[in-house]
Structure 1
Amino acid sequence: METIEGIMELVTKDDLEDLATSYGVNRYNTKLTGELIFKGLMRLILLGKKTSLRMLETLINEGIDHFEPTPSVSYSGISKRLKDIKWSYFEAIYRTLVNKLSSDLGTINERTLHRFDSTIINLSGRLIKDGLKIGGKASDSQIKVSVGLRQQLPTSIRFCTLQEESSEDLALVRAINEARVDSEDILLFDRGISKAGTFGEFEAKDYKFITRLNVGRRYHIVKTHSVSSPIMEDLTVALYAKGNKAPLPTSLRLIKMLNKEGNELWFLTNLFDMSALEIAELYRRRWDIEVFFKFIKQNLGYKHFLSHSMNGMRVYIYMVLITALVFLAYKIKTKLQGFKIPLFRFNLALEKSFVKSMILLSGGNFDAVKHLF
Structure 2
Amino acid sequence: MDKNTRKTSFGKWASPINFKKFNEIINFHNQDRYTKKLTTQAYTLLMLHAHLTQTDSLHALKAALASDDLARAAGVESISVSQLSRKNNEVDPAILSNLFLQLVSQINGEKRGPRGGMPLKIIDSTTLPLNINHFEWAKFRKTKAGVKLHLRIVFSEKGTHYPDKEVITNAKDSDRNQLEVLVDDKEAMYVFDRGYMDYGQFDKFTDDALFFVCRLKRNSIIHPVENFTLPQGCDAVSDTMAFIGNVTNCTENVFRIVVVPDGKGGELRLITNRFDLTATEISEIYRSRWAIELFFKWIKQHVNIKHFYGQSENAVKNQIYLVLIAYCLNVLIQMETKSKKSILTITRLLKAKLWTASRHWLSRIENKAVP
TM bin, normalised by shorter chain, reads 0.7 to 0.9
User: What aligned pairs does 1:3-152 form with structure 2 within 5 A after superposition?
Assistant: 7-47=13-53, 49=54, 51-63=56-68, 65=70, 67=72, 70-103=76-109, 105-109=110-114, 110-133=117-140, 138-151=142-155, 152=161
User: What aligned pairs does 1:216-255 form with structure 2 within 5 A after superposition?
Assistant: 216-227=219-230, 228=232, 229-241=234-246, 244-245=247-248, 247-255=250-258
Structure-1 residue corresponding to 2:262: 259
Cα distance in 1 for residues equivalent to 2:69 and 2:130? 29
Contact 1:90–1:318 under 8 Å retained in 2? yes
Cα distance in 2 for residues equivalent to 1:146 and 1:245? 30
Is the alpha carbon distance of 1:66 and 1:207 closer, same or farther for their aligned partners in structure 2, counting shifts above 3 Å? Answer: same
SS at match of 1:301: coil
User: What aligned pairs does 1:142-291 form with structure 2 within 5 A after superposition?
Assistant: 142-151=146-155, 152-161=161-170, 163=172, 165=173, 167-171=174-178, 173-177=179-183, 181-227=184-230, 228=232, 229-241=234-246, 244-245=247-248, 247-291=250-294
Is the alpha carbon distance of 1:132 and 1:126 closer, same or farther for their aligned partners in structure 2, counting shifts above 3 Å? Answer: closer
Structure-2 residue corresponding to 1:366: none
Shift of 1:162: 8.3
Cα distance in 1 for residues equivalent to 2:369 and 2:47? 32
Structure-1 residue corresponding to 2:363: none
SS at match of 2:44: helix
Cα distance in 2 for residues equivalent to 1:64 and 1:271? 54
1:340 to 323, 340, 344: 344
State the AA in 2 paired with 1:143: V
- Report Cα offsets for 1:164-218 as digits up to 9, x if no partner: x2x22223x14414xxx43331101111012222211221222110111123520
Cα distance in 2 for residues equivalent to 1:29 and 1:208? 47
SS at match of 1:143: strand
Cα distance in 1 for residues equivalent to 2:180 and 2:134? 28
State the AA in 2 paired with 1:130: W
1:292 partnered with 2:301: no
Shift of 1:345: 2.7
Contact 1:132–1:144 under 8 Å retained in 2? no
**Displaced runs of 4+ in structure 1, greater than 4 A?**
3-7, 370-373
Cα distance in 2 for residues equivalent to 1:115 and 1:147? 8
SS at match of 1:199: helix
SS at match of 1:223: strand
SS at match of 1:231: coil
- Report Cα offsets for 1:116-138 as digits up to 9, x if no partner: 111111111111121141x5xx2
Is the alpha carbon distance of 1:94 and 1:219 closer, same or farther for their aligned partners in structure 2, counting shifts above 3 Å? Answer: same
Contact 1:327–1:346 under 8 Å retained in 2? no
Contact 2:38–2:76 under 8 Å retained in 1? no
Cα distance in 2 for residues equivalent to 1:153 and 1:127? 32
Aligned Cα root-mean-square deviation (Å): 2.6
Which sits farther off after the overlay, 27-36 or 343-352? 343-352
Contact 1:330–1:346 under 8 Å retained in 2? no
Contact 2:14–2:329 under 8 Å retained in 1? yes
Contact 1:121–1:144 under 8 Å retained in 2? yes
Cα distance in 2 for residues equivalent to 1:191 and 1:141? 24
Is the alpha carbon distance of 1:89 and 1:258 closer, same or farther for their aligned partners in structure 2, counting shifts above 3 Å? Answer: closer
User: What aligned pairs does 1:299-314 form with structure 2 within 5 A after superposition?
Assistant: 299-314=302-317
**Percent of aligned pairs sharing the same letter:** 22
Contact 1:169–1:194 under 8 Å retained in 2? yes
Shift of 1:100: 2.2
State the AA in 1 paired with 2:130: L
Shift of 1:150: 1.7
Shift of 1:349: 5.3
- Any unmatched runs of 5+ in structure 2? 1-7, 156-160, 361-367
Shift of 1:282: 1.1
Cα distance in 2 for residues equivalent to 1:143 and 1:235? 39
Cα distance in 2 for residues equivalent to 1:204 and 1:162? 31
Cα distance in 2 for residues equivalent to 1:63 and 1:88? 31
Cα distance in 2 for residues equivalent to 1:313 and 1:346? 26
Is the alpha carbon distance of 1:232 and 1:191 closer, same or farther for their aligned partners in structure 2, counting shifts above 3 Å? Answer: same
Is the alpha carbon distance of 1:58 and 1:129 closer, same or farther for their aligned partners in structure 2, counting shifts above 3 Å? Answer: same
SS at match of 2:195: coil
- Report Cα offsets for 1:243-266 as digits up to 9, x if no partner: x35732211000112233321111
